[in-house]
Amino acid sequence: MHPTICVLGKKDTGKTGLAERIIATLVNRKIRVAAVKHTTHKLELDTKGTDSYRFQKSGANPVILFSSGRITVYVNDYIKPVSIEDIEKNIIIPVDVVIIEGFSEIVQKDNRVGKIICYTESGQLKDYLNTVKPPILGLYTYNIEGGGVEFSELMKRVEQFIEEFKTVYEFYKLLPRLDCLKCGFNCFEMAEKIYKGERNLTDCPVLSNDTFKIEIKVNGVKLPLKSFPAKIIRNTIIALISTLKQVDENINGKITINIEK
């Protein structure tokens, strides 16, 4: 997952203008940005009668157009994204940061996404402040004198968020990412605690479970596994299996998984 920042707010509160300024500032600093926008309008991106239009109408899905320095992809019957991961799957070239406008149902409860809330009157903030999960990088308004955060200060927070996210995400990748809450947090919150020095990887009970040994064979040949990845694989499998209905939570014995072609 990339560092992701979402610009939220009601209609006509300056979301697009702000997103545009943030993108331009980041790009100017040589940071590669993907912009993601949700729209309720039905878009027809191609002109009637063109070859790609005809391919689309003949049922091809997707239709991919390569032109000088540009790729355009038309996808029909697209499955509605329900998570940041679903949105990210569509980013097909390497980027450093993702800026999202809209998709508030997906992002507002996701503590991995930095949020900026745009408003034009303070009454609009109440709903957001009650429902949006941190981190909130700032409240932004273009029309209330002295209200909200200055753009330069907002950019400082955006860049700090991007830097911190990268390190937190490295810890997150080392955790089993099961969100089992056995440590009292979800995995990303745990990664943030580790980043702040408030917890260690060994405080994840799934990761530090030493009861089981693991051996993986591919085509009959035993894989050389170092202790740390071995622990992660072993505990992830145990945690996944222990959620299955027929399995006793306290697994005692040997687990055998055979995957054959």
Q: What is the DSSP letter of 48?
A: T
Residue 100 or 232 with smaller CB distance to ligand SF4: 232
Both tokens of residue 114? 């930095």
179 lies in the site for ligand SF4, by CB under 6 A: yes
**Residues near 143 by beta carbon (within 8 Å), at least 6 away in sequence:** 14, 120
Contact with ligand SF4 (CB under 6 A) among 24, 129, 181, 241 = 181
Rule CB under 6 A: is residue 174 a binding residue for ligand SF4? no
Q: What's the residue count for the chain?
A: 261
Closer Cβ to ligand SF4, 137 or 204, answer by number: 204
Contact between 186 and ligand SF4 per CB under 6 A? yes
User: What is the number of other CB atoms lying within 10 angstroms of the CB of residue 167?
Assistant: 13
Q: Residue 204 interacts with ligand SF4 (CB under 6 A)?
A: yes
User: Strands (DSSP E) along the chain, which ranges?
Assistant: 4-9, 33-37, 63-67, 70-74, 97-101, 113-118, 136-140, 217-218, 221-222
Among 6, 8, 107, 206, binds ligand SF4 (CB under 6 A): 206
Asked whether position 18 contacts ligand SF4 by CB under 6 A, the answer is: no
| Cα(3)–Cα(21) distance, integer angstroms | 17
Of the candidate residues 73, 205, 240, 255, the single one contacting ligand SF4 (CB under 6 A) = 205
Residues 207-226 that bind ligand SF4 (CB under 6 A): 207
- 168 lies in the binding site for ligand SF4 (CB under 6 A): no
- Smallest CA-to-CA distance from 164 within 144, 133, 193, 124 is with 193
- State the minimum distance, in angstroms, from the CB of residue 185 to ligand SF4: 6
Q: Which residues bind ligand SF4 (CB under 6 A)?
A: 175-176, 178-183, 185-187, 190, 204-207
